[in-house]
Amino acid sequence: MRWYQQWDGTVQSLNRKSNDGGPRTMTQDQVKHYLLDFITMMNSQHKPVNYKIVQSHIEDSLGQKVPLSDIQRYGKECDIKWRKVQELTLPDIDDEHWNQIAKFRKFLQRIHNDRLAFIDEIAIYAVMPPRQTLVAPGYQPLIIVEKPSAHAQRYDFIGALNGSQSIACMILTPADRKNRNIDGIRKEIVNEWIVKTLAPTINRLGSNNIYLICDKSWSHSKVNMMEALKTGKCKSVVDICYMPIALTKYISPLDNSICHGFKEAIRSQYPVTTANLPSLLSKTFLSLSRRQIKNAYRKCAIVRGTDVYYDRPST
């Protein structure tokens, strides 16, 4: 009967017609002012926002109830999309913070990359299962580990590299810490490594006027480190420069650029055990390619000609 009522003698009259629904609960101007402009304002202030917050704002502003489904539909009309949150800290949007980064990067850009030797320490845990595993139908991607990662044995790693190659490294195992009665890398450990390993390695590079770059941690004493270089008969290092506090991730190629790929390379060599981890660490670090290191230097904007503000969040 509905077909007969709809039929006017043509096939086209029987085609499904779009359902426009009921009348709009908000006009186009209201949608722009109370929905689009409100979300734009929250974005510019770097505050999280969802449709329930938008609904509350609209109902308070208009003094009437507006269904959440209508607001979501109007949001799609305005091309508003859900996006993964990118976290910012207050320093990330502070001008002075980025001016410090730029100033230090400009200083480093004036020096040839092979004369910039970065050192850094990272912690590696013995539990390093692979990120992915093949799973047959009906099974789950479950992997048995000896201990949860929070309780796994920690290995302290010290590495040094310049613009072309990884220079030297040292691994402090749990047994080493126990024998020395220490809980981590201390000043004397760094200085001992400089005398025995780093200084002789720098001498073999055949480069002069090298700058040693490190963070300003309590284990990095400039006076003691220079004395250790002198003890190791290394005269190539002309100065030790501290990176500005809390800016290491932007300036040091060892901090984020190399560290993540380094850990993933170790993880890919599963199974990793307490027996083979020390050798894997040194072998993987010392086999870093020239391309990997140059890309890390470029990412930290310490390659001459790179915009020192290129990675500043656009706010």
CATH number, position 110: 3.30.420.10
Q: Quick one: the chain helix, strand, coil %, rounded to 5?
A: 45, 10, 40
* Structure letter (DSSP) for residue 176: H
- Alpha-carbon distance 211 to 227, whole Å? 15
| Integer angstrom CA distances of residue 143 from 130, 151, 159, 277 | 9, 17, 31, 19
Domain end among 78, 113, 148: 78
Residues 140 and 287 occupy one common structural domain: yes
The mean of the pLDDT values for the chain is 88
Query: Residues 158-181: pLDDT tens digits?
Result: 999 999 999 999 999 999 999 999
Q: What is the pLDDT of residue 196?
A: 95
Domain end among 78, 106, 123: 78
- Alpha-carbon distance 291 to 309, whole Å? 23
Its domain, for residue 130, covers 95-300
160 inside domain: yes
Residues 36 and 116 occupy one common structural domain: no
156 inside domain: yes
Residues 138 and 197 occupy one common structural domain: yes
**Model's pTM, two decimal places?**
0.74
Using alpha carbons, select from 278, 117, 285, 121 the residue that is nearest to residue 190: 121
**Total structural domains in the chain?**
2
Both tokens of residue 112? 């040839």
Query: Residues 218-254: pLDDT tens digits?
Result: 999 999 999 999 999 999 999 999 998 888 889 999 9
Positive/negative CA dihedral, 172, 175, 176, 177: positive
Residues 99 and 73 occupy one common structural domain: no
| Integer angstrom CA distances of residue 111 from 115, 199, 242, 304 | 7, 20, 15, 8
